Amino acid sequence: MVTALTFVLGVVLGTLVTLTSVGAGALGVTVLLMLYPRLQIRDIVGSDIVHAVPLTLVGGIGYWMIGEIDWTMLISLLLGSIPGIIIGSHIAPRMPDRLIRPFLAATLALVGLKLVIS
């Protein structure tokens, strides 16, 4: 049953990420936490990130092919994100779940609030 629900989550996330760019992190981690409550947060986050890479690559190629990319913004995002990813991937395995959970909850709450207010 959990495998089938995870498959459905993948379909929903693939669609949402391609349409809105929201989903892989915000929705994916939340649902994965409910489907796999015994996994450590870092395992869920790591699995979700590894899932997001090919997902966003395929979506990104689609947007590139139709000419819907702001290259200046993309380069600026990459210049900031790549060092952040390196730092985060070194810190996350050393952090206990009890510290990551509140940070993740606050991040998801802020994203949700921003989406409601916008």
pLDDT band at 24 (very low <50, low <70, confident <90, very high): low
Q: Residue 103: which of 114, 88, 86, 118 has the closest Cα?
A: 88
Tokens found for residue 56:
């966003």
Nearest alpha carbon to residue 46 among 95, 89, 99: 89
Tokens of 9: 């989550």
- Looking at every residue in the chain, the average pLDDT score rounds to 85
Q: How many domains does the chain have?
A: 1
* pTM metric for this prediction: 0.67
- The predicted model gives 91-113 an average pLDDT of 84
Q: How many Cα atoms sit within 13 Å of 90 on the Cβ side? A: 5
Arithmetic mean of pLDDT, 35-44: 88
Element (H, E) at 102: helix 97-117
Does the structure show a pLDDT above 70 at 23?
Answer: no
Q: Which residues neighbour 68 within 8 Å (Cβ) at sequence distance 6 or greater?
A: none
Which range marks the domain in which residue 49 is found?
2-117
In order of 62, 71, 85, the CA distances from 43 in angstroms are: 29, 32, 16
